[in-house]
Amino acid sequence: MHFIASPSTDPFFNLASEEYLLKGFSEHIFLLYRNTPTIVVGKHQNTLAEINLPYVEKEGIMVARRISGGGTVFHDLGNLNFAFITGGREGEMVDYKKFTRPLIEAMGTMGLKVTMGERNELLLGKLKISGTASHVNKKRVLHHGTLLFSSVMKNLSLALKVKPERFTDRAVKSVPSRVTNIRDHLVQKIDIEDFQTRILNHIFHSMAGATHYTYNDHDLREINHLRDTKFSKWEWNFGYSPKYQFSKQLTFGSGNIHIQMNVEKGVIQKVSIEGDFMSAKDIHYLEELLSGTIHDPETLRMKLSAIKVDEYISGLENEKLLSGMF
């Protein structure tokens, strides 16, 4: 088994490396990495329905999509991410107990009594410290997950604080859980670098044929190509979301409006704006202007910059309308 400690904290690079190692290698692999603050959504989720977009933009938190299913998680430098990538027989490859057991045992050496929950999460008592997911590609499988060690809980809580009732879709929904940081339960206080080293060393010495592996120039070129052409792209992180309907009531100084949008592959197909308001120009022109635009704040802001929304909805400023579309 190859043991890899990622040289990068770029979430797009690290998520790309998982796909590269899954599809480009035949060896068994154990990968550890950390990311700068990032929300990571599951493959089949509606990104905008999972994140608190104003908070994410204000705090500069990145948004990424992984290749496995399951719910949304928060990464930062206080969170250690692990991945087991192995081969196996069809129908027998997805085994969460098998791939979390080494981690449970490693944390047991630090005095932590960790158990697996009903949704394959790892728990300290009744509090979640890890979410896990898997992805099968031909005869290889990726099992990966998080280990909350010293994450900033305020960011975790606020970045994922959304109002899902605004979205109607068939996307996978995240299940909220009470979480805790591993560091708070350790008798011997260590930092995350030491924690990573202990996890890596314990599992390394428990695996037959374990070898340390460092990415070579070819690996880095391939991973960065995947990063640049897929994992860092809006089309993957937002546009890949299943089609959805968005609905929101917006109250402003002189009235109320109800905004409805049909969105497919991230592109607004149809907009309907109804409500109690006065207008000097036909509202249908505004609806048609917004249709065909990707459901992205900056793109919509640029589209609206060519008009004054107040002429179509009296008393409503451009930015106020934009806030009603998310």
* Domain residue ranges of the chain, discontinuous segments joined by +: 2-237, 244-323
pLDDT tens profile 71-121: 999 999 999 999 999 998 777 788 999 999 999 999 999 999 999 998 899
Contacts of 96 (CB under 8 A, 6+ apart): 116, 120, 132, 134, 143
Q: What is the pLDDT of residue 176?
A: 66
Of 211, 155, 147, nearest to 183 (Cα)?
Answer: 147
Q: What dotted CATH number matches 244-323?
A: 3.30.390.50
Predicted TM-score (pTM) of the model is: 0.90
Asked if 322 and 299 count as a contact pair (C-beta separation under 8 A), the reply is: no
Q: Which of 3.30.420.40, 3.10.20.90, 3.30.930.10, 3.30.70.100 would CATH assign to domain 2-237?
A: 3.30.930.10
The 10 Å Cβ neighbour count of residue 148 is 27
Q: Splitting the chain (326 residues) into consecutive groups of 10 residues, what average pLDDT does each group show? A: 97 98 96 98 95 94 96 95 91 87 96 93 94 93 96 91 77 78 94 96 92 97 98 97 94 89 96 91 96 96 96 94 94
- For residue 293, what pLDDT is reported? 97
The torsion angle over the Cα atoms of residues 132, 136, 137 and 140, rounded to 10 degrees, is 90
Own/partner long-range contacts of 8-12 (Cβ < 8 Å, ≥24 apart): 8/33, 9/33, 9/34, 9/35, 9/36, 9/77, 10/35, 10/36, 10/227, 11/35, 11/36, 11/38, 11/40, 11/62, 11/64, 11/75, 12/62, 12/64, 12/227, 12/231, 12/232
